[in-house]
């Protein structure tokens, strides 16, 4: 397994080392503001609130699926906060598939045996034990993730 904790998440205004979350489960979610699954933000925020002591959700905006995340980093963050009350970190927009896949997603996909992310709101759950679970976007609800915590 990759040492995922050696990576940092590039947020719009700062960088956060994943090692800051080593004692928590981390839920990595590729997100989009103009997708039919966008209302999952509400459920994700509720999950973050409910499990704040043991879980850290991080959103990774990507515009790779039918251009459903066209905004700038600041516009995306504002959309998430205003429309869904999101308080969990939202990374800078980046690719999750292809030649320019951001490094965290390269490592997650490799470790989970996933070739490509299938759609917006696919999820990877990394537990402190090192157990990694991939949840395909179109078949997974936030409640399915909570059951694995």
Tally: H helices and E strands in the chain = 4, 6
d(CA 97, CA 81): 26
pTM of the shown model = 0.96
Q: What is the C-alpha separation between 110 and 89, in angstroms, rounded?
A: 23
Q: Where are the domains of the chain?
A: 4-148
Task: From the candidates 35, 46, 112, 114, give the one annotated as an active-site residue.
Answer: 35
- For 50-72, what is each residue's pLDDT tens digit? 999 999 999 999 999 999 999 99
- Mean pLDDT of all residues belonging to the chain: 95
User: Bridge partners of 148?
Assistant: none
Fold topology of 4-148: Glutaredoxin (3.40.30)
Is 138 a residue whose pLDDT tops 90? no
Encoded tokens for 104 = 């965290």
Q: Is 35 a catalytic residue?
A: yes
Kind and range of the H or E run holding 16 = strand 15-17
């Amino acid at each position: 397994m990759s040492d995922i904790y050696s990576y940092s998440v590039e947020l719009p205004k700062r960088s956060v080392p994943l090692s800051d979350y080593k004692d928590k489960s981390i839920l990595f979610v590729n997100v989009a503001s103009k997708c039919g699954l966008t209302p999952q933000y509400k459920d994700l925020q509720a999950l973050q609130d409910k499990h704040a002591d043991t879980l850290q959700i991080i959103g990774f905006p990507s515009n790779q699926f039918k251009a459903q995340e066209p905004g700038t980093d600041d516009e995306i963050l504002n959309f998430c906060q205003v429309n869904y009350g999101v308080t969990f970190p939202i990374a800078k927009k980046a690719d999750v598939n292809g030649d320019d896949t951001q490094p965290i997603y390269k490592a997650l996909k490799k470790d989970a045996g996933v070739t490509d992310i299938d759609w917006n709101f696919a999820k990877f759950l990394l537990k402190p034990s090192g157990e990694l679970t991939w949840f395909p976007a179109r078949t997974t609800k936030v409640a399915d993730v909570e059951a694995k915590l």
